[in-house]
Amino acid sequence: MGMAVDLRNRIAKRAAKEIHDGLIVNLGIGIPTLVADHIPQDIHVLFHAENGVLGTGPSPDPGKEDPALCNAGGFPITTVMGASYFDSATAFGMIRKGYIDITILGALEVSEKGDLANWIVPGKRVPGMGGAMELAQKAKKVIVLMNHVNKQGESKILKTCTLPLTARQSVDLIITDMAVMEVTEEGLVLKEVMAPYTVDDVLRNTEATLKIHAAVNTIE
């Protein structure tokens, strides 16, 4: 069960609110790539791609794609003034040295302690972990964008991840089609709910233990 385009953009738009002026941000494959389309023009941010670009911009208009410009997932991108190009070794060096302020990633599962599983389902062929392990461990803030439940309607936000981990206790914020949850030292805190869902809907569809913020906002 794929996620409708409008829901994907809704999640991406909420994630864009976490990005402030002057940050260096890495966008993962999937919903995270849409975040660049929702950055206000007065916010100056440099998006980083592992294949060797710093300064990617919004998705190009249909028919205006440049075949020489793509992100790490192979999807067409634009660049902003001041963008730079380099090899992937330099791109990963930037990650490992801690120069990435925020990384926004997709996920298969996240635990209530912030453990991240996003690279493999056992038995299925994948090209590899890519940069997810380094990003999850070295970025100053890790935001996960994902469906709240899987194809079977089961929670993807768990007490303990069942899939192979990418990184332990690395996730800071989870944004799904149902809610926004923050990983804290006291546990997983429900801070916002995506309409038309309610707090009860989120609790019913979350295996992990959720603490309810004193003032839960609703995203219309």
Distances (CA, A) of 27 to 21, 35, 97, 113, 185: 16, 8, 17, 22, 26
Instruction: Give the DSSP letter of residue 36.
Output: G
The reply to whether 50 belongs to the active site is yes
**Secondary structure (3-state) at 178:** coil
Q: How far apart are CA 173 and CA 188, in angstroms?
A: 9
Which residue(s) pair with 111 in the sheet? 158
* Residues in contact with 8: Cβ distance below 8 Å, sequence separation at least 6, in sequence order: 31, 34
Which residues are registered as beta bridge partners of 194?
219
Q: Please tell me which residue in 50, 109, 112, 134 is annotated as part of the active site.
A: 50
Distance CA 80, CA 82 (A): 6
Contacts of 218 (CB under 8 A, 6+ apart): 192, 193, 194, 195
Cite the active site residues: 50
